[in-house]
């Protein structure tokens, strides 16, 4: 990688390819000049020093690098030879084999820079790959900052709720983080959220979208913890200012499942059976197939809900397969619901890491 900030860079040509190269150079802070036979109005808007003249070898002198981007292949080759004689780095846009440097598709996230190049064979593919990498860039930036803190032998605090599932999810995240830097010292700090403090109140009566995240968000903003782990479906659409979200790449089964006494499927449940769910979505989906069933709110963690079914308080309940899989409770599942017929909550099965804008 080259630092071209405030360096003199020359582009010869002013077609569409040249304009893309010019935009890249400007984004890196270069002092860009352009030589072309015709004046390009788009360059005036960019404030570029443009010379409408024929190319001459002496015009490349004094530049750190040159891009040959004319529509004349022979001229581009001549520019390449002139640059080589003067030890000036050159990029010939139509001949990758003559390029002394490349301008890759670049994505930046904090201190992280991702560059992708196909050697000039398919610039569009480079951009597609870069855009895919954006999905993980925020996570990789977090990894880098945690690694720096770990190298300073400083403790990393991970915040989570205190349920068995939440702790298991925290352990999964710690295990993944340590793949990048095994020496990380990561400790868990548990919190009781609003939802945990009101176990008997239906969620729709609490009327806040951060019912399982608010206390952890506050701890992040106060620098009490370095990161918090949530089920993605619990994270509100808009985070408090100063926080950032990283969707953790490891995703579990997103389907809903039925837990029932005697391991009966939805079709096998007797008429009038009581289903425990506090989800309006799940209620309507099941009602569409079994309008003869009864539905009542249910709260509590996975173990508590399963216990309420097994002791006869409910005949069945609906849970996320992801949580049961993470806790090794697949044997409790009576039926998996087809996700096409039972669409699940956005983000179900995924974990999310939330951090402050800067890790202290």
Query: Which residues are tagged catalytic?
Result: 234
CA separation for the pair 356, 346 (Å, rounded): 23
B/e letters for 114-137, b = 16+ CB within 10 Å, e = fewer, are bebbbebeebeebeebbeebeebb
Contact 300, 199 (CB under 8 A): yes
Contact 116, 133 (CB under 8 A): yes
Q: Is the dihedral of CA 4, 10, 11, 14 positive or negative?
A: positive
Give the total residue count for the chain.
360
The count of other CB atoms within 10 Å of the CB of residue 149 is: 18
Token pair of 348, please? 């179900």
CA separation for the pair 115, 102 (Å, rounded): 10
Contact 350, 247 (CB under 8 A): yes
φ and ψ of 183, to 5 deg:
-80, 0
Burial grade of 312 (CB within 10 A; 0-12, 13-18, 19 or more) = exposed
Contact 107, 114 (CB under 8 A): yes
């Amino acid at each position: 990688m080259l630092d071209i900030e405030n360096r003199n860079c020359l582009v010869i040509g002013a077609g569409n390819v040249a304009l893309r190269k010019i935009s890249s150079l400007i984004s890196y802070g270069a002092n860009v000049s352009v030589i072309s036979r015709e004046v390009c109005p788009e360059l005036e808007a960019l404030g570029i020093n443009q010379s409408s003249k024929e190319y001459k070898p002496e015009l490349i002198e004094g530049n750190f690098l040159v891009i040959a981007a004319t529509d004349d292949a022979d001229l581009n080759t001549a520019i390449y030879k002139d640059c080589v004689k003067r030890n000036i780095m050159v990029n010939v846009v139509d001949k990758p084999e003559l390029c002394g440097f490349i301008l890759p598709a670049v994505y930046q996230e904090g201190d992280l820079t991702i560059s992708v190049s196909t050697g000039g064979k398919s610039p569009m593919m480079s951009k597609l790959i870069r855009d895919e990498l954006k999905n993980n860039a925020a996570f990789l930036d977090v990894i880098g900052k945690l690694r720096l803190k770990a190298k300073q032998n400083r403790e990393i605090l991970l915040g989570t709720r205190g349920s068995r599932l939440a702790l298991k999810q925290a352990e999964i995240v710690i295990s993944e983080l340590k793949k990048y830097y095994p020496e990380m010292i990561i400790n868990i700090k548990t919190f009781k959220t609003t939802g945990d403090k009101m176990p008997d109140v239906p969620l729709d009566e609490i009327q806040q979208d951060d019912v399982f995240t608010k206390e952890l968000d506050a701890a992040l903003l106060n620098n009490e913890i370095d990161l918090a782990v949530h089920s993605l479906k619990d994270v509100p659409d808009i985070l408090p200012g100063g926080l950032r979200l990283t969707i953790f790449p490891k995703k579990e089964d997103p389907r809903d499942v039925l837990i029932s006494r005697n391991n009966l499927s939805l079709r096998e449940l007797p008429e009038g059976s009581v289903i425990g769910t506090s989800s309006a979505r799940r209620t309507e989906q099941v009602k569409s197939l079994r309008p003869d069933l009864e539905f009542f709110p249910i709260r509590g963690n996975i173990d508590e809900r399963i216990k309420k079914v097994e002791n006869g308080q409910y005949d069945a309940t609906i849970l996320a397969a992801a949580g049961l899989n993470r806790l090794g409770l697949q044997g409790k599942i009576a039926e998996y619901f087809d996700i096409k017929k039972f669409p699940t909550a956005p983000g179900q099965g995924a974990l999310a890491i939330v951090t402050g804008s800067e890790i202290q």
